[in-house]
Homo-oligomer: A and B are copies of this chain.
Amino acid sequence: MNTGRKGILIVVSGFSGAGKGTIMKRLLERYPDRYALSVSATTRAPRQGEEHGREYFFVSTEEFESMIKREELIEYARYVNNYYGTPRSYVEEKLLEGRDVILEIEIQGALKVREKFPDTLLLFVTPPSAKELKARLVGRGTEDEATIASRLNRAVEESRGIENYDYFVVNDDLDTCVAQVHGIIEGEHYRVSRNTGRIEEMRQELHSFLKGE
């Protein structure tokens, strides 16, 4: 589908437990022709049930490093001896098709993406309150206290970067939140800065009328 309008690159970040993954999954289910979810490349081994090209593109360290050299990644980072990165070609292809492309990455990556694509929209998702955030972290029931404390610590760190984002969305009710996120992205398409070509065209047309053409 090509709507005739340019796609927007969107980075979604947020606290662990904010439900980013669920929001995006729902967004894609509801508007399958409008959005595309970027699939990251990684050097880590696939876990049970994970599929190449769906959860990740699983590549070797050698392959990943040659992708870096060939500038085929918009951003990449190394965690615990593994690389993770966003392949440029998929993103650019979908944007050209007129789709809004969503990346789920953390703040360092988000800022790198915006350096390369200044029009990138940065969205930060949070649970309704810090209390609720803590409850969601604890609620998984799979983590010990030290892990929870470390996640809270990380949340405090992340919260310092929110001012770099464009929008701040509270995930209280999932459906409401999905509608909000969709509305925000939809509204962004009408930004003057995203319509400069169209505006210039109208200006030229107006000029030609004035000259009696």
Across-interface contacts of A163 in B (CB, < 8 A): 192, 196, 199
Q: Is A130 an interface residue (CB 8 A)?
A: yes
Most B-side CB within 10 Å, residue of A162, A165, A183, A206: A206
Stretch of A25-33, A43-51, A55-63, A148-156 on the interface side: A148-156
Q: Mark A96-140, 1 if CB is under 8 A from B, else 0.
A: 000000000000000000000000000010100111011000000
Stretch of A66-74, A75-83, A85-93, A166-174 on the interface side: A166-174
Q: Tell me, in angstroms, the Cα distance from A200 to B124 when the chains sit together.
A: 14
Q: Is A4 an interface residue (CB 8 A)?
A: no
B-facing residues in A162-213 (Cβ within 8 Å): 162-163, 165-169, 180, 183-184, 186-188, 190-192, 195-196, 198-199, 202-203, 205-210
Contact (Cβ within 8 A) A155 B206 = yes
Across-interface contacts of A180 in B (CB, < 8 A): 186-187, 190
- CB proximity of A78 to chain B, nearest CB, Å: 27
The answer to whether A156 and B210 touch (CB under 8 A), given A183-B183, A184-B190, A187-B183, is yes
Q: Is A22 an interface residue (CB 8 A)?
A: no
Contact (Cβ within 8 A) B168 A195 = yes
Q: Tell me, in angstroms, the Cα distance from A152 to B152 when the chains sit together.
A: 60
Which of B190, B208, B210 is within 8 Å of A167, CB to CB?
B190
Given contacts A162-B192, A168-B199, 5 further A-B contacts (CB under 8 A): A130-B205, A149-B210, A159-B199, A180-B190, A183-B183
In the A-B complex, the 6 residue pairs with the smallest Cβ-Cβ separation, listed nearest first, are A130-B205, A187-B187, A184-B187, A130-B206, A167-B190, A159-B203
* Interface set of A (CB-CB < 8 Å, partner B): 124, 126, 129-131, 133-134, 149, 152-153, 155-156, 159-160, 162-163, 165-169, 180, 183-184, 186-188, 190-192, 195-196, 198-199, 202-203, 205-210
Q: Could you name 8 residue pairs across A and B whose Cβ atoms are closer than 8 Å? A: A126-B202, A130-B202, A131-B209, A152-B206, A159-B206, A163-B199, A168-B190, A187-B188
